[in-house]
Structure 1
Amino acid sequence: MDTKRHIVHIDLDSFFVSVERKFNPSLIGKPVIIGGSADRGVVASCSYETRKFGVHSAMPTRQALKLCPDAILISGSHGRYSEASHEVTQIIHDAVPLYQKTSVDEFYLDLSGMDRFHDSYKIASDLRQKIIKDTGLPISFGMASSKVVAKMATNQAKPNGQLQIPHGKEMAFLAPLPIRKIPMLGEKTCQKLYEYGIEKIGDLQRVDLRFLQTVFGKAGLFIWEKARGIDHSELVPHSDRKSISTEHTFGTDVKDRRTLETILVSMTEELSSKLRRENKLASCLAIKIRYANFETHTQQEKIALTAAEHILIPGIKNLLSKSWDQHRPIRLIGVRLSNLTTGSYQINLFEDNEERIRLYQAMDNINFKFGDKTVCRAAGMEIGTRNFNPFLKG
């Protein structure tokens, strides 16, 4: 029996830019930056036309526009990206038995064992073509014996390409690449390796493990293995996700409680609706606060399993009261629901309030049909009362 692993890493090229170009073809071929405001934001995604000027994601937008003054700046639409990501996820879900979604635009597939019946590389190639045909989005993939090599193969295949690294050829493929191409290898680690004259992965492959352990401690083995393409980590199936979160960066720092609570209510509604759609319940809620000086605080609280806003929203408001120094303005605020488990919200979790059950079902049905946030609560409404819209009765 063949025990060789066949891992595929899929990446949607310049995902946010590609989605925007699908809706506005006039952007094709032009330098595009998706991100926050020119004075305070950061680059979320950028087209290949901007990258040749040195622009990259997570760079301050101000700096990116200095490097590429002709770039078209777009604030972006989370709804569009979420919809496109869901579309791609569904195609993958229908095609392969085991996959891991690691971000909105990135997936790992495990095709190990499938080559007894079909050629694994052909399966991946056909899937890529189907995604391109059905969604109109460019996509790249790498295929190898481990997650780390598959990801590095994808990076070499971009843009809009594919690359297979045969078993036994991992070290030869990695050798000519710069050490900074190794995922999770930080800038400080690279600088330290440069000091020893180690610039290419091939240089790293020739270094003794004991030397790396002496210099980097426990991380030495991680570095040594990755340089050889050794990575035994398994895929975590998409359904095993343990948390969902969202955050909002303000255009100007905010210290008005009503504004903060309005945003928190909106974010909590969005997340709890998503939980119900995915048939999940959360037993831990957390709030994230980043002040103007970038100091960041999180506070969390255990709760009974739920996907109900009337329980989650007061909990989130309470965490805001506990964790916020009200003399300091806030730059970013976020909500995370975690310790997720599969299960439907039941009437007894809603305190046997049928009216409330019908409200959630009606909201979820409308939002599912017409898109998130089509209908939501008035943010200032007292959650937990029976003051619901009369049109939802009966």
Structure 2
Amino acid sequence: MIRNIVHLDLDSFFVSVEQLRNSKLIGKPVLIGGTSDRGVVASCSYEARKFGVSSAMPMRMAKMLCPDAIIVKGDMEEYSRRSLEVTEIITSRAPVVEKASIDEHYLDITGMDKFFGCNVWAHELRELIIKETGLPISFGLSVNKTVAKVATGEAKPNGEKYVELPSVNSFLNPLSIKKIPGVGGKTYQLLRSMGIEKIHTLAHIAPEQMYRVLGENGITIWQKANGVDETPVIPYEERKSISTETTFDKDTTNVDYLNQLLQAMVMELTFKLRKEKRLTSCVTVKLRYSNFDTETKQVRIPYTALDRPLIDVTRELFNKLYSRRMLVRLIGVRFSHLVSGFEQINLFTESVEQYNLYQAMDKIRRRFGEKAITIAGVLKQ
């Protein structure tokens, strides 16, 4: 059976939300992110993109490219609320929904063409989202997730594109290899050094050569260039919490060690949050004493998935909680009230250096395992 996959993407989502809140921003170059020169651009309007500004760019560079840009710090809680509104509209109507990020959804509407025209149905859903939320949104409809996502990119801003099976290759062939999901900066430069610029050229490279150059990822990219992608749409489920705890072989009162262990636990959980594209707004610390009395403290915070603010909050909770000075048997941390999102979108106060550090640490963990980086003091115990 030929699949029908829809990719929905909210256009310049953070900027669009801010424009709803302040109509004076409409039609202006707007940057969302850290307001200092050391900050990072989390999102930017199409007017700012004309000057060469892009997401994840250092704010200092963005202001040099677009000196008249209006900078807005951003409100993650408001963005999460607006995202949930869109998700609720989609899940109330679509049979299978995958929330890929705070502003992206995949829908599997295979079989619905028997009762509705899939393109007509997707158009009506998009119109409903715009009417109910006021947010601009684009969609691509095709036979798999890759082609649907590329189609959305071609439909932006605030448009629609339907690519039927017979037109898949003719649609992809003239596009830049940058358009293929999964082709990042380094892969793009490598392929360009091989003389590959268009998807048509990449599609006709021998798969064995792609494997020699990029390994298994080379085969995946080659398949996508040929319009092949069997990846399923994974039904959307919002995880409520994530936690970890440690029970000691020997009860302890070593406060320095407990603080170091808490820091290591937070770093482990924040990596999982970023890996799963989640953000938390509630932190809980749990202590169990040697007499088995168990106490907890929690606090609500602005949405984040970054190590530094969560470590600070966790230490503060521990200092308030650990008042008895008794031997501790167990310690734990839980992050709850999770929403979909990813680390870049919360860089409203983070520096470029801090962002790069998180990226480097996560890369090491993905390659060598989640415990590849931890606190030195914990290892000494």
TM-score, with structure 2 as normaliser: 0.67
Gaps of 5+ in 1: 242-274, 276-280, 285-300, 304-314, 325-331, 341-348, 365-375, 387-394
1:55 aligned to which of 53, 56, 71? 53
**C-alpha distance in 2 between matches for 1:316 and 1:149:** 50
CA contact (8 A) 2:142 2:162 kept: yes
Q: Is 1:180–2:162 an aligned residue pair?
A: no
Cα pair distance change 1:157/1:322, threshold 3 Å: closer
Partner of 2:332: none
The SS at the match of 1:168 is: helix
**C-alpha distance in 1 between matches for 2:26 and 2:50:** 16
Partner of 1:120: 118
Partner of 2:127: 129
CA contact (8 A) 2:242 2:269 kept: no
**C-alpha distance in 1 between matches for 2:150 and 2:164:** 14
1:150 Cα deviation from its structure 2 partner: 0.5
Q: Is 1:382–2:324 an aligned residue pair?
A: no
CA shift digits 1:333-383 (9 cap, x unpaired): 98467799xxxxxxxx999xxxx99x99xx99xxxxxxxxxxx99958734
CA contact (8 A) 1:205 1:228 kept: yes
Cα pair distance change 1:174/1:316, threshold 3 Å: farther
The SS at the match of 1:55 is: coil
2:104 aligned to which of 103, 106, 114? 106
1:42 aligned to which of 15, 24, 40? 40
Cα pair distance change 1:323/1:152, threshold 3 Å: same
The one-letter code sitting in structure 1 at the alignment partner of 2:17 is V
Number of aligned positions between the proteins: 290
**C-alpha distance in 1 between matches for 2:31 and 2:259:** 35
Aligned-residue sequence identity (percent) comes to: 47
Q: Is 1:234–2:237 an aligned residue pair?
A: no
2:217 aligned to which of 216, 219, 232? 219
**C-alpha distance in 1 between matches for 2:32 and 2:231:** 32
Partner of 1:253: none
The SS at the match of 2:81 is: helix
The one-letter code sitting in structure 2 at the alignment partner of 1:212 is M
The SS at the match of 2:211 is: helix
**C-alpha distance in 2 between matches for 1:302 and 1:111:** 44
Cα pair distance change 1:319/1:107, threshold 3 Å: farther
Partner of 2:261: 319
1:41 Cα deviation from its structure 2 partner: 0.9
Partner of 1:161: 159
Partner of 1:391: none
The one-letter code sitting in structure 2 at the alignment partner of 1:168 is P
2:62 aligned to which of 51, 61, 64? 64
CA contact (8 A) 1:165 1:173 kept: yes
The SS at the match of 1:319 is: helix
Q: Greater relative contact order: 1 or 2 (C-alpha under 8 angstroms, separation 6 or more)? A: 2
1:39 Cα deviation from its structure 2 partner: 1.6
TM-score, with structure 1 as normaliser: 0.65
Gaps of 5+ in 2: 248-256, 277-285, 289-294, 301-312, 325-381
